[in-house]
A and B are shown apart, each in its own frame.
Chain A
Amino acid sequence: MTGSNGGIPRWVDVGLIPLINILMAFFVSGLIILLIGEDPIEAVGILLYGAFGTDYGIGYTLYYTTNFIFTGLAVAVAFHAGLFNIGGEGQAYIGGLGVGLVLLSLDSSLPLILLVPISILASALFGAAWAYIPAYLQAYRGSHIVITTIMFNFIASALMVYLLVNVLIQPGQMSPQSREFADTSWLPFMHEVFAWFGMSITRSPLNLSIFWALICCALVWAFIWRTRWGYEIRTVGFNETAAVYAGINPKKIVILAMCVSGGLAGFVGLNEILGVHHRLLLNFQLGYGFAGIAVALMGRNHPIGIILASLLFGTLYQGGAELSFDMPKVTREMVEVVQGLVILFSGALALMIKPTVERIYVVVAAIAAGRRSTVEG
């Protein structure tokens, strides 16, 4: 999308430059940790142990990863159409509402094997519906999707507070949350799945949703690169005028891309509501929608990249939580700092180092060519 490649090979463009960008983000994060008086190297060690040192840590890391995959894919699909879906937060929230409503009405009357597909459908449908309105307004009324999706995040939040405080609250309860679903309707935890095979691992919130996240990665890959819709989405994102001449209706594509995007974000509700909390509650989606932007940028909008970036952020989330026990000054919020820096360096400043890298590459290539010619000569 950036036009000319400046004569640098592909591996520099898609491998080296993003890597340098991320390293810069980590470097600045390290400086901030130094600033608050802790040792960044030691912090990384504790963080990695916290995330991967125990099966409990791995469970949590992968549980966070699951959410990041969903929101990362959501942002990426919209990006491919040239749209910025900043409303993942609200779509995830409403997606969770969809799951919650299904479970609250059907949990004791249907078996799990039916509830799971219905919940998947409901979260996708609700998330997509929440994305549909901004998409429609963008396509047919010309309102800016960034602004409307931001507004819809706040509207979703107000709606959920209203519903949980006034409508869905468990009678006799003070805290705004629904009743717990019947335990036959819970998505099995990973430690339970392992127990079926006689293996014992420590309890963690990791549940079967992670497989759905991986399936979604494959589906999104197929959708974007192997279907006509995906082709049309990419065409509109690449050049809307050209798309029109090719007979594509950009308005429909905007709505399609946003609905797919919203549906993917809605799956956060699946992981959180059906998988972990087993009841509808407030703010279960907090931060994942925005983190999806960092994940998509870092993963270059490709499912493989998104899995890797999600794993990285999952590691940061879990490791960061553990880190605060050993270094009280380094809390979960430090992860937000890293996230912000990653978005800044790999997103907003993505092109900053490109000219420099190009110049260095040309010089290095010239030297290498010169040496080869002297060796040959």
Chain B
Amino acid sequence: MDDFFILLVSTLDATIRVAAPLVLAALAGLYAERSGVIDIGLEGKMLAAAFAAAATSFVMNSAWAGLLAGISISVILALIHGFACITHKGNQVVSGVAINILVAGLTVTLGIAWFAQGGQTPSLTNDARFSPLLWPGAEAVKDIPFIGGLYTEIISGHNLLVYIAYLAVPLTWWVVYRTRFGLRLRAVGENPAAVDTAGISVTALRYQAMICCGFLCGIAGTYLSTAQNAGFVKNMTAGQGFIALAAMIFGKWKPVPAMMACLLFGFLDAVANRIQGVSMPLVGEIPVQLIQALPYILTVILLAGFIGKAVAPKASGIPYVKER
């Protein structure tokens, strides 16, 4: 029982840490898609931010400078995406693919040119990283059964960016459903012509959404290289941007369900790492690859309409052409 509890706590702890960047990126995608811009470049923006953050943290020896750099580069990429898709009405999927490929190459090219370590950044010291925050009393209650473990491991002991990620969920909910900007954001993704008729600029709204998107992806990428790891590694996002995209769809373009989907996917990942080679009762050994592929399989099943119906914002993917 005790062993099981420890395993459970460590799995949940890992879930929260693994899901944090997914939550941020999924919310980023939510802003973009709710405004009517499909963004499959979440992956690229996260990767670029991870590199910029690690490089800047290393040079300036400050995690905060890294965060600023990560957010900046991610917002710039989001604006390039906006420039192509909103201003020039380019294909949104093509633009996203371009950003992903460009960033995958550019981060390594610049990494080699600047640090000469095969595309990695030098490892960061603790000053240049976001380190775990110990909550008051965490040490004191550590030995109390159940509650102690829960408080110390699951609630306390994460780094700042993890808390930011989970705070961004209610914040996004509030922005999307309770503010004027959010109302317009939802409207522009469903019926841009109506928003235009009301005298509100579709272009400006979509650019604002892209900035939100870039901002959140920037934090997500920074988390990967300066909090979860101690430096940038080639292609370190490894598909997390796409998992976040899947989670956003799985959460039906809503903040709280999207977070739940991220937690589910994070949990699957944490479990996959723990049951490797372990034989389960009844079913025997479950292939790790199956669990790793589950987020994608579940998303496909959901999209196919077999578990509920995922309906994208009506205008997403369609450039808005003002009638003349």
A interface list, Cβ under 8 A from B: 32, 35-37, 84, 86, 133-134, 137, 141-144, 146-148, 150-152, 154-155, 158-159, 161-162, 165-166, 290, 293-294, 297, 328-331, 333-341, 343-344, 347-352
Contact = CB atoms under 8 A, between A and B. Distances in A.
Given A340-B106, A343-B101, 14 more contacts: A36-B110, A143-B310, A147-B299, A151-B242, A158-B289, A159-B289, A162-B289, A328-B112, A336-B104, A336-B106, A343-B97, A347-B91, A348-B98, A351-B88
B105 A335 contact: yes
Given A155-B293, A344-B84, A349-B88, A339 B101 contact: yes
Contact of A162 (B91, B93, B287): B287
A154 B97 contact: no
B104 A333 contact: yes
Given A137-B303, A293-B94, A344-B99, A150 B242 contact: yes
Contacts of A36: 109-110, 113-114
A142 B306 CA distance: 12
Interface in B261-311: 287, 289-290, 292-293, 296-297, 299-300, 303-305, 310
Given A154-B239, A329-B112, A336 B105 contact: yes
A338 B293 CA distance: 31
A330 B109 contact: yes
Size category of the B interface is: 35 or more
A80 B95 CA distance: 19
A341 B249 contact: no
A152 B300 contact: yes
Contacts of A349: 83-84, 88, 90, 95
Main secondary structure of the interface of B (DSSP, over half): helix
Contacts of A32: 106, 109
A110 to B, nearest CB: 31
Interface in B102-147: 102-106, 108-110, 112-114, 119
B300 A340 contact: no
B88 A352 contact: yes
Given A147-B303, A162-B289, A329-B113, A341 B98 contact: yes
A340 B100 CA distance: 7
A317 B99 CA distance: 19
B30 to A, nearest CB: 14
B89 interface: yes
Contacts of B292: 158
B109 A351 contact: no
Nearest to A165: B289
Contact of B93 (A86, A133, A331, A341): A86
B109 A158 contact: no
Contacts of A37: 113
B296 A350 contact: no
Given A86-B97, A161-B289, A329-B113, A142 B305 contact: yes
B85 interface: yes
B63 interface: no
B110 to A, nearest CB: 7
A134 B296 CA distance: 12
Contact of B105 (A162, A333, A351): A333
A252 B242 CA distance: 29
Contacts of B109: 32, 36, 329-331, 333-334, 337
A331 B40 contact: no
A341 B104 CA distance: 12
Contacts of B105: 333-340
Nearest to B119: A333
B9 interface: no
Nearest to B103: A340
Contacts of B38: 146
Contacts of A344: 80, 84, 95, 98-99, 102
Nearest to B287: A162
A144 B303 contact: yes
B260 interface: no
A141 B304 contact: yes
A159 B97 contact: no
A143 B83 CA distance: 27
Nearest to B292: A158
A348 B113 contact: no
A348 B93 CA distance: 8
B303 A348 contact: no
Interface in B168-182: none
A85 to B, nearest CB: 11
Contacts of B114: 36
B56 to A, nearest CB: 16
B94 A347 contact: yes
A347 B300 contact: no
B22 to A, nearest CB: 14
B211 interface: no
12 contacts: A86-B93, A137-B300, A144-B303, A151-B246, A152-B300, A155-B293, A158-B290, A331-B109, A331-B112, A334-B105, A347-B91, A348-B88
Contacts of B80: 344
A265 B195 CA distance: 42
Contacts of A290: 97, 100-101
B249 A147 contact: yes
B232 to A, nearest CB: 13
Q: Ordered nearest first, which 7 A-B pairs have the shortest CB separation?
A: A340-B102, A336-B105, A348-B95, A143-B303, A36-B113, A158-B293, A348-B90
Contacts of A294: 101
